[in-house]
Amino acid sequence: MIRHSCSDVPGLFRLFVYGTLKRGYWNHDRFCKHAVTIEEATVRGRLYKLQSGIPVLKVPDESILAVGTVSASADVATQERVALPTNAPTSGGWPMIRGELLAFSDPIRDLPPIDRLESYRPGQFSLYRRVLVPVVSATEGIIAAWSYVGDDDVLRHCVPLEGSLWP
């Protein structure tokens, strides 16, 4: 059963998704079937597209609150203790990208397959980096959540997308 709020439940792994992990796309059912909450949300950034058509998010450096590790439980602890801004992120020339905020109750089970899907390997070259960013949700307000983003090495091979939603 999917709940409508995740801020009152400790130990949940929160993930902002903007591409194939969203509801209705080909990776959602396989990788996100254990999500206990799913809601629309936004994050400040820009969307790009790989040659394959898959989106890549870039967020401003000042939005990155932490960088993911190989330990799902350590990343949940970081997510719960990080200091968040008290007001919504301002654009500063960066649009608000629309996606979904998912929460998982068992990050040790649910996170490693998603990390593999996103080719995320801490300490090695990775297609995406998993970073903690402020996410704006209608029900939660500003909440810290992880998201997969591209770095400049990956983005130089991408095409900028117009708009705030993929596809």
Q: What is the pLDDT of residues 118-135, one digit of tens each?
A: 999 988 888 899 999 999
Q: How many CB atoms lie within 10 A of CB 55?
A: 20
What is the per-residue pLDDT for 161? 95
Q: Is 167 contained in some domain?
A: no
CA angle (68 as vertex; 117, 89 as ends), nearest 5: 105
Strand order in the sheet with 46-49: 55-58, 46-49, 159-160
Is 41 inside a domain boundary? Answer: yes
pTM (predicted TM-score): 0.92
Residue pair 137/84 in contact (Cβ under 8 Å)? The answer is no
- The amino acid occupying position 106 is D
**Looking at the predicted structure, is the pLDDT value of residue 25 above 70?**
yes
How many other CB atoms are there within 10 angstroms of residue 69's CB atom?
Answer: 13
Residue 106: which CATH number? 3.10.490.10
In the numeric block, which tokens belong to residue 138?
A: 């209608």
Report how far residue 146's alpha carbon sits from residue 153's, in angstroms, rounded to the nearest whole number.
Answer: 20
- Is residue 151 one of the residues assigned to a domain? yes
The pLDDT score that the predictor gives to residue 147 is 98
**Could you give the 3-state DSSP secondary structure of residue 110?**
helix
Examine residue 4 and state whether it is found in any structural domain, yes or no: no
Percent of the chain predicted with pLDDT > 70: 91
What's at 130, amino acid-wise? R
How far is 84 from 63, CA to CA, in rounded Å?
A: 10
* Neighbour tally for 24: CB within 10 Å: 7
**Confidence band, pLDDT 50/70/90 cuts, at residue 85:** confident
Question: What 3-state DSSP class applies to 137?
Answer: strand
What's the chain's average pLDDT? Answer: 91
Domain housing 94: 13-160
Who contacts 141 (Cβ-Cβ below 8 Å, separation ≥6)?
none
CA distance 159 to 161: 6
Q: Would you say residue 138 has pLDDT above 50?
A: yes
Task: Please indicate, yes or no, if residue 127 is contained in any of the structural domains.
Answer: yes
Span 28-79, pLDDT tens digits: 999 999 999 999 999 999 999 999 999 999 999 999 999 999 999 999 999 9
Domain count, the chain: 1
Residue 5 reports pLDDT greater than 60: no
Both tokens of residue 130? Answer: 């998993």
**Predicted pLDDT of residue 49:** 95
